[in-house]
């Protein structure tokens, strides 16, 4: 609508504006991804390099068709992937439980306080991830804040072992991905018309019923967006399990890191990375679906 | 009665929510001034010694536990971070803004494709992008270093700038530009006199946020930095891996303050640009 009012420009202008960026991303984004996928189908060389022959054994090691001659199938890879999915799902659940009430609270605040709160929530996103994780190292360590506090209160006599547990990894991921969940939920709650909630209450619905029948369905697109945006970086994370999980809680990201930095089996590492990429692309498709449907729904409402 | 009670409960929850966000990073800052060299989480007395140590000055409490073995390494990492962030943020701001202008001000064929191309890098898990870039640079024979980090950062920073500038353009009424064109201004003049001044706060906000995201990036840099070119977050990671020491508190606190200042400025500029249309 806006565009149609503009005089029809020469085709050269948009081309000149668009082509450097397109070229850059085709070469340095699409190119590397294509090479990575290619690598996952090549044979690992003896000294860490790669042989340019087709080789399906990298995926065979993961999914079970490895012949046992050169490569061996090991269920540990699929198990680790499943564990990563589980930890990422728990992270989605905890961020959702923490953010939903908070977003509801902030959306009801007077506008000035609200914008200050929004600013305070966006800010940690820009604080280095490593600094934010380091804080939890100080808190959870055997000589950390929680143990010092509990011991000085006399509640425990020996420090609790909180580091190197799945709980620690979940706390770390929840903490760093909180803003990712908050912003889409807040956006959908803010759009929620207060009159609908009042109408539901006037018609005699209990608060619980109002929540499940009116509020939750209307904010569901925000919840789904947030869930996907938190799930994707959690799934492939290796910094959090590396620092807070140690050798006890390994995720698929740690396996990939090992293949590249220590085992030097790049094709196998590329195959593992491709699994994360495939999961991400699949979720992105759902995300686009949800987005376009919610835009369509809100347009329908307006008419 | 019922509603005031639940409102209070919700407010209490809100306070706890912000405590959860800010208490951990506040802890680092407070304990970076703690002089206890043996147990850094037990408060002893106030000191600047950890800050003095990382800048290479002598300090009383740290003599026995001197930890930052090379202040030069730290300074080198900070320099690399600043150089990479400046170049990557500038380049990605140029590329991202140009793409946003093209897609919002012109009819473009395959618009959906371009839009997806601009947005996907941001959604790509950083471990996948980091590894893909590592394989790419090594297989075409480019040595890993500061240049590869800059290129790597640009790929995903373009997405952020594109989104921020697009939001600005989507909210702008194009009639001023049309008027300018109708009055006979060339496209370039229209851009320089009308479009650019109006989108500039948004572009500057995007630039600062891109700068700080580049400064803070860990995962992609971790894979493509090579042996010699460490950035500050990678340096901090390797320090933490060798053992938690009070000096890390001081380094982390300084990075924390720097991030907060630059990001605040960026968020402020972006918010202002969205208000005054």
Distance spanning both ends of chain A, measured CA to CA = 17
Q: Are residues B245 and B130 in the same domain?
A: yes
Size of interface A-B (CB pairs under 8 A): 251
Query: Hey, what are A34's tokens?
Result: 């294509």
Query: Hey, what are A114's tokens?
Result: 């609200």
Residue A161 has pLDDT above 50, yes or no: yes
Return d(Cα B167, Cα B181) in angstroms, integer.
Answer: 23
CB-based contact A136 B24, cutoff 8 Å: yes
CA distance A9 to chain B (A): 7
Nearest CA in chain A to B233: A130
A165: left (phi over 0), alpha (psi -120 to 50) or beta: beta
Nearest residue to A174 via CA among B21, B22, B10: B21
Strand ranges, E, within chain B: none
pLDDT at position B12, please?
Answer: 92
> Per-residue pLDDT tens for A22-71?
999 999 999 999 999 999 999 988 777 788 888 888 898 899 888 777 78
Instruction: For chain A, say whether B169 makes contact (Cβ under 8 Å).
Output: no
Contacts of A284 in chain B (CB under 8 A): 120, 123
Measured in whole angstroms, the distance separating CA B103 from the mean position of its chain's CA atoms is: 25
For chain A, the domains span 85-294
What is the rounded (10 degree) CA torsion for A160, A161, A163, A165?
A: -120
Instruction: For chain A, say whether B122 makes contact (Cβ under 8 Å).
Output: no
With the C-alpha atoms ordered A28, A33, A34, A38, is the resulting torsion angle positive or negative? Answer: positive
Return d(Cα A147, Cα A140) in angstroms, integer.
Answer: 8
Indicate the residue among B16, B47, B65 that finishes a domain: B65
Hey, which residues 14-33 in chain B have their CB within 8 Å of chain A?
Answer: 14, 17-18, 20-22, 24-25, 27-28, 31
CB-based contact B260 A237, cutoff 8 Å: no
Q: Are residues B81 and B155 in the same domain?
A: yes
Nearest residue to A208 via CA among A199, A200, A218, A219: A200
pLDDT at position A135, please?
Answer: 94
Indicate the residue among B65, B81, B116 that finishes a domain: B65
> Per-residue pLDDT tens for B23-58?
999 999 998 898 887 777 778 888 888 888 777 776
Domain count of chain B?
2
Query: Hey, what are A238's tokens?
Result: 């290796």
Q: Are residues B206 and B151 in the same domain?
A: yes
A170 vs A302, higher pLDDT = A170
B224 vs B63, higher pLDDT = B224
> Per-residue pLDDT tens for B164-209?
898 888 877 778 888 888 888 887 888 888 888 888 888 998 998 8
Mutate to test the interface with A, among B43, B132, B138 (most CBs of A within 10 A): B132
Q: Are residues B47 and B83 in the same domain?
A: no
Share of residues in chain B with pLDDT > 70 (%):
92
Residue A301 has pLDDT above 60, yes or no: no
Contacts of B106 in chain A (CB under 8 A): 3, 6, 9, 13-14, 17
Q: Which residue has the tokens 């728990």?
A: A90
CA distance B67 to chain A (A): 17
Confidence band, pLDDT 50/70/90 cuts, at residue B1: very low
User: Lowest-confidence range among A38-52, A213-227, A273-287, B57-71?
Assistant: B57-71
pLDDT, mean of residues A189-204: 83
CATH at residue B150? 1.10.3720.10
pLDDT, mean of residues A148-153: 87
Q: Could you tell me where the DSSP H helices lie in A109-215?
A: 111-122, 129-140, 145-152, 166-190, 194-202, 207-210
Contacts of B108 in chain A (CB under 8 A): 14, 18
A92 vs A294, higher pLDDT = A92
CB A129 within 8 Å of CB A239: yes
Nearest CA in chain A to B25: A135
Return d(Cα B209, Cα B264) in angstroms, integer.
Answer: 9
Nearest residue to B77 via CA among B176, B128, B142, B149: B149
Residue A136 has pLDDT above 50, yes or no: yes
pLDDT at position B271, please?
Answer: 78
Secondary structure (3-state) at B34: strand
Instruction: Give the total residue count for chain B.
Output: 277
Return d(Cα A254, Cα B118) in angstroms, integer.
Answer: 29
pLDDT, mean of residues B219-225: 94
Contacts of A31 in chain B (CB under 8 A): 136
B275 vs A125, higher pLDDT = A125
Nearest residue to A130 via CA among A17, A243, A281: A243
CB-based contact A13 B106, cutoff 8 Å: yes
Tell me B53's DSSP state: H
CB B101 within 8 Å of CB A17: yes
CB-based contact A178 B21, cutoff 8 Å: yes
Secondary structure (3-state) at A153: coil
User: Lowest-confidence range among A267-281, A289-303, B113-127, B140-154?
Assistant: A289-303
Residue A1 has pLDDT above 60, yes or no: no
Q: Are residues B111 and B168 in the same domain?
A: yes
Share of residues in chain B with pLDDT > 90 (%):
46
Q: Which of A23-27, A111-115, A246-250 has the highest mean pLDDT?
A: A23-27
Q: Are residues B249 and B119 in the same domain?
A: yes
Contacts of A124 in chain B (CB under 8 A): 21-22, 25
Burial class (CB in 10 A: 0-12, 13-18, 19+), A273: buried
CB A237 within 8 Å of CB A253: yes
Q: Are residues B19 and B133 in the same domain?
A: no
B151 vs A286, higher pLDDT = B151
Q: Are residues B162 and B266 in the same domain?
A: yes
CATH architecture of the domain A85-294 equals Orthogonal Bundle (1.10)
Tell me A178's DSSP state: H
Return d(Cα A285, Cα B101) in angstroms, integer.
Answer: 26
Q: Are residues B202 and B271 in the same domain?
A: yes
Q: Could you tell me where the DSSP H helices lie in chain A?
A: 12-25, 31-39, 57-63, 76-107, 111-122, 129-140, 145-152, 166-190, 194-202, 207-210, 216-235, 239-240, 252-261, 266-302
pLDDT, mean of residues A250-254: 94
pLDDT at position A261, please?
Answer: 85
pLDDT, mean of residues A239-258: 92
Contacts of B132 in chain A (CB under 8 A): 32-33, 35-36, 273
Return d(Cα A111, Cα A133) in angstroms, integer.
Answer: 32
Count CB neighbours of B28 within 10 A: 23
For chain B, what is the mean pLDDT?
Answer: 86
> Per-residue pLDDT tens for A208-221?
888 888 888 889 98
CB A25 within 8 Å of CB B158: yes
Instruction: Give chain A's count of helices (H) and strands (E).
Output: 14, 2
Q: Are residues B168 and B186 in the same domain?
A: yes
Q: Are residues B124 and B17 in the same domain?
A: no
β-partners of residue A51 are A43
> Per-residue pLDDT tens for B175-187?
888 888 888 888 7
Instruction: For chain A, say whether B224 makes contact (Cβ under 8 Å).
Output: no
**Of the candidates A20, A148, A239, which has its C-beta nearest B98's C-beta?**
A20
Nearest CA in chain B to A50: B139
Query: Hey, what are B271's tokens?
Result: 């918010």
Per the structure, the complete domain to which residue B23 belongs is given by 2-65
**Of the candidates A31, A121, A131, which has its C-beta nearest B136's C-beta?**
A31
Strand pairing of A50-54 and A42-44? antiparallel
Residue A92 has pLDDT above 50, yes or no: yes
Return d(Cα A88, Cα A229) in angstroms, integer.
Answer: 11
Write down the ipTM of this complex. 0.89
Instruction: For chain A, say whether B274 makes contact (Cβ under 8 Å).
Output: no
pLDDT, mean of residues A217-240: 92
Query: Hey, what are A30's tokens?
Result: 């699409």
A237: left (phi over 0), alpha (psi -120 to 50) or beta: beta
Indicate the residue among B43, B65, B87 that finishes a domain: B65
Residue B117 has pLDDT above 60, yes or no: yes
pLDDT, mean of residues B128-141: 94
**Sequential DSSP letters for A115-142:** HHHHHHHHGGGGS-HHHHHHHHHHHHST
Residue A110 has pLDDT above 70, yes or no: yes
Secondary structure (3-state) at A107: helix
């Amino acid at each position: 609508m806006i565009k149609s009012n503009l005089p029809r420009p020469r085709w050269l202008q948009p081309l000149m504006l668009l082509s450097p960026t397109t070229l850059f991303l085709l070469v340095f984004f699409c190119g590397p991804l294509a090479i990575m996928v290619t690598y996952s189908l090549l044979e690992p060389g003896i000294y860490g390099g790669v042989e340019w022959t087709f080789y399906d054994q990298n995926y065979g090691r993961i999914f079970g068709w490895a012949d046992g001659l050169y490569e061996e199938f090991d269920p540990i890879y699929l198990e680790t992937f499943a564990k990563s999915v589980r930890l990422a799902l728990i992270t989605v659940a905890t961020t959702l439980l923490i953010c939903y009430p908070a977003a509801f609270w902030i959306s009801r605040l007077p506008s000035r306080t609200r914008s200050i709160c929004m600013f305070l929530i966006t800010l940690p996103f820009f604080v280095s991830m490593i600094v934010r994780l380091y804080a939890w190292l100080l808190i959870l360590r055997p000589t950390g804040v929680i143990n010092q506090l509990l011991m000085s209160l006399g509640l425990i006599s020996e420090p609790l072992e909180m580091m190197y547990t799945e709980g620690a990894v979940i706390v770390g991921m929840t903490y760093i991905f909180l803003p990712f969940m908050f912003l889409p939920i807040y956006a959908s709650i803010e759009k929620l018309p207060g009159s609908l909630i009042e109408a539901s209450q006037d018609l005699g619905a209990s608060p619980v019923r109002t929540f499940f029948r009116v509020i939750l369905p209307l904010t569901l697109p925000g919840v789904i967006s947030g869930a996907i945006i938190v799930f994707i970086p959690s799934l492939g994370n290796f910094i959090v399990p590396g620092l807070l999980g140690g050798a006890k809680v390994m995720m698929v990201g740690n396996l990939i890191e090992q293949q590249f930095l220590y085992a030097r089996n790049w094709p196998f590492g590329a195959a593992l990375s491709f699994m994360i990429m495939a999961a991400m692309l699949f979720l992105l498709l759902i995300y686009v679906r949800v987005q376009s449907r919610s835009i369509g729904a809100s347009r329908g409402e307006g008419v | 009665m019922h509603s005031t009670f639940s409102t209070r409960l919700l407010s209490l929850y809100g306070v706890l929510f912000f405590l959860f966000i800010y208490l951990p990073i506040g802890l680092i800052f407070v304990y970076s001034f703690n002089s206890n060299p043996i147990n850094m989480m037990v408060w002893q007395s106030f000191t600047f010694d950890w800050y003095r140590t990382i800048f290479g000055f002598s300090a009383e409490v740290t003599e026995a536990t001197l930890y930052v073995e090379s202040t030069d390494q730290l300074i080198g990492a900070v320099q690399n971070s600043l150089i990479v962030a400046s170049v990557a943020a500038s380049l990605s701001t140029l590329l991202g803004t140009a793409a946003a202008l093209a897609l919002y001000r012109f009819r473009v064929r395959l618009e959906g494709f371009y839009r997806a191309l601009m947005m996907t890098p941001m959604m790509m898990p950083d471990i996948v992008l980091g590894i893909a870039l590592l394989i790419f640079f090594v297989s075409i024979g480019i040595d890993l270093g500061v240049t590869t980090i800059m290129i790597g950062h640009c790929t995903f920073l373009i997405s952020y700038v594109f989104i921020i500038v697009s939001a600005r353009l989507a909210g702008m009424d194009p009639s001023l530009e049309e008027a300018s064109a109708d009055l006979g201004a060339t496209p370039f003049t229209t851009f320089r006199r009308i479009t650019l001044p109006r989108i500039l706060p948004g572009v500057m906000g995007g630039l600062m946020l891109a700068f700080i995201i580049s400064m803070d990036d860990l995962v992609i840099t971790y894979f493509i930095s090579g042996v010699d070119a460490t950035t500050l977050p990678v340096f901090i990671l390797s320090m933490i891996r060798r053992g938690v020491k009070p000096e890390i508190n001081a380094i982390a606190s300084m990075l924390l303050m720097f991030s907060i200042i630059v990001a605040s400025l960026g968020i402020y500029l972006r918010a202002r640009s969205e208000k005054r249309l």
